[in-house]
Amino acid sequence: MSLQPNILLFSTFLGLIFLLLDIYVLRRWMQHVQRRQLHPLWYRALWGIAGIMFCLFWYVMLRRHIFRLDGLDANLFGFVTLWYLPKVGIALVLFPRDLYKGLRWIVDMLRRRGKQMHDNNTEPAADIVSAAPLASRREFIGTAAWGISAVPYLMVGRGMWSTLYDFHVSNVELSIPGLPRVFDGMRIAQLSDIHAGSFPDHTPFQEVRYILESLKPDLIAITGDFVNQRSQEMAVIAREYAKLKAPYGVVASLGNHDHYNTQEEHDRLVATIRELGTNLLINQHIKIREAGSALVLAGTDNTGFRQSYARLDTALDGVFDDEPVILLAHDPTFWDKEVVPKRRVNVMLSGHTHGGQFGIQALGLEWSPAQLVYKQWSGLYTNGEQQLYVNRGIGTVGPPMRIGIPPETTLFTLRSPGVGENMTHNSH
């Protein structure tokens, strides 16, 4: 199997960031409590929790690592995330005020030195008069800042218990040059990044199955990352997964997480997926035939994230030039590396990015940290007549949370040229 990501350096960097955040925010909280002459227990208890959370972070990281968490480890890391992540927002509120105070202190110091050098007289009475309202304003700003600090906790909490399983459906019409009219109107539902180990039980996937049943797709396509690491994770969703049905069946490709195991475990995972009724395409293709025409569905193994298992030429071997091709390839970076404009693939369906699991989607604005890593991170992209769709996935990796980036099921409606224009919209 492929090398797993070397996560030790990343974990150390992340742990250091968390530690510095904790020290900065808790020291500022301690100063606030002391100024208001509250009981020391108000900050001592938090310092104790901070120590426990720091140990818990390293317990989880050294026992597994952030990209392979499932079951108890995922839940434990959820507590760690709820403790640390909101402090980023709190620090963003506190730091500008501290920066202003620091700059003011420097300016005041330089002024005092300048006055001393020029033997200028001071006006203490005016300073005494202005000191009281200035102190009052500072106290008000400090209290308001700590009041605002509750907002990041509410956002992260909502991302864990509300948005996490707030499954959305994205409806996308795809106009495919060369698509035989017999396939015009065909509906394909895409799932990606199930990460079965990220679910506490079968109920979230049961909701996904209900959504798929309501959509009534002609075919279901799954673009990899069935598990976080272990083949046993499929047992969490197996009962519901086996009920996935569509007239043309369920087809799938593998993702990077599906290789984070031994060869024996990987073979067991592949066998399990197929036993549950999925046509798993590992550098293969199938042809759907209607009225003498064919639509090709191809699937490659994963290439990307330090893996190189895809064999696109093998997957497309036997495909004729006039046959439209829909490719399932987990990592969207494969599109630029191997597909456009080198191969005649009409549409590539991917996942992998999770949409960053955190971002902003409001008033036409879309932003996520995933954009800093991936050129194509969510939604529909085009290059000439070739199209790529990146699904945000339904499971999670690392923190069991989604903020502003809900999990996604995509429903594609295929169109022959001239029948419909590409368009995308979201709905519940």
Cross-strand pairs, 365: 362
With a CB cutoff of 8 Å and minimum separation 6, the contacts of 382 are 388, 422
Position 353 scores a pLDDT of 96
Residues 220, 191 contacting (CB under 8 angstroms): yes
Q: At what angle do helices 71-84 and 150-161 cross, to 10 degrees?
A: 160
Residues 236, 201 contacting (CB under 8 angstroms): yes
Q: Is the peptide bond before 341 cis (omega within 30 degrees of 0)?
A: yes
Q: At what angle do helices 150-161 and 124-148 cross, to 10 degrees?
A: 10
Q: Where are the domains of the chain?
A: 8-84, 88-153, 167-427
The tokens 């293709």 sit on which residue?
285
Spell out the per-residue pLDDT of the chain, length 428, in tens.
Answer: 444 445 667 678 778 888 998 999 899 889 888 888 889 998 899 999 999 989 988 888 777 666 667 767 777 887 888 888 888 778 877 778 778 878 888 888 888 877 776 655 545 544 444 555 555 555 555 555 566 666 666 666 665 666 789 999 999 999 999 999 999 999 999 999 999 999 989 999 999 999 999 999 999 999 999 999 899 999 999 999 999 999 999 999 999 999 999 999 999 999 999 999 999 999 999 999 999 999 999 999 999 988 999 999 999 999 999 999 999 999 999 999 999 988 989 999 999 999 999 888 777 778 888 998 999 999 999 999 999 999 999 999 888 888 889 999 999 999 998 654 444 444 43
Considering only CA atoms, which of 217, 281, 205, 206 is closest in space to residue 245?
217
Parallel, antiparallel or unpaired: strands 187-191 and 347-350? unpaired
Q: What CA–CA distance (Å, rounded) separates 365 from 368?
A: 10
Position 420 scores a pLDDT of 45
Q: What CA–CA distance (Å, rounded) separates 128 from 124?
A: 6
**Tokens representing 366?**
């879309």
- The amino acid at 216: K
**Degrees, nearest 5: CA angle 24-147-102:** 40
Considering only CA atoms, which of 261, 283, 278 is closest in space to residue 334?
283
DSSP secondary structure letter of residue 358: B
With a CB cutoff of 8 Å and minimum separation 6, the contacts of 405 are 163, 354, 355, 356, 357, 358, 359, 361, 368, 378, 392
Position 286 scores a pLDDT of 98
Query: What is the side-by-side strand order in the sheet with 284-290?
Result: 284-290, 293-299, 325-328, 347-350, 386-390, 379-383
Position 428 scores a pLDDT of 37
* Domain 167-427 CATH class label: alpha beta
Q: How far is CA 301 from CA 80, 223, 315, in A?
A: 34, 10, 9
Q: What CA–CA distance (Å, rounded) separates 327 from 253?
A: 9
Q: What CA–CA distance (Å, rounded) separates 426 from 428?
A: 7
- The C-alpha R_g of the chain, in whole angstroms, comes to 27
Residues 237, 205 contacting (CB under 8 angstroms): yes
Q: What CA–CA distance (Å, rounded) separates 153 from 141?
A: 20
Cross-strand pairs, 174: 414
With a CB cutoff of 8 Å and minimum separation 6, the contacts of 261 are 1, 229, 230, 231, 269
Position 59 scores a pLDDT of 83
Residues 65, 11 contacting (CB under 8 angstroms): yes
Position 424 scores a pLDDT of 45
**Tokens representing 377?**
């991170």
Q: Is 275 left (phi over 0), alpha (psi -120 to 50) or beta?
A: alpha
DSSP secondary structure letter of residue 177: T
The DSSP line for 285-315 is: EEEEEETTEEEEEEE---BSSS-B---HHHH
Position 6 scores a pLDDT of 53
The DSSP line for 109-172 is: HHHHHHHHHTTPPP-HHHHHHHHHHHHHHHHHHHHHHHHHTHHHHHHHHHHHHTGGG--EEEEE
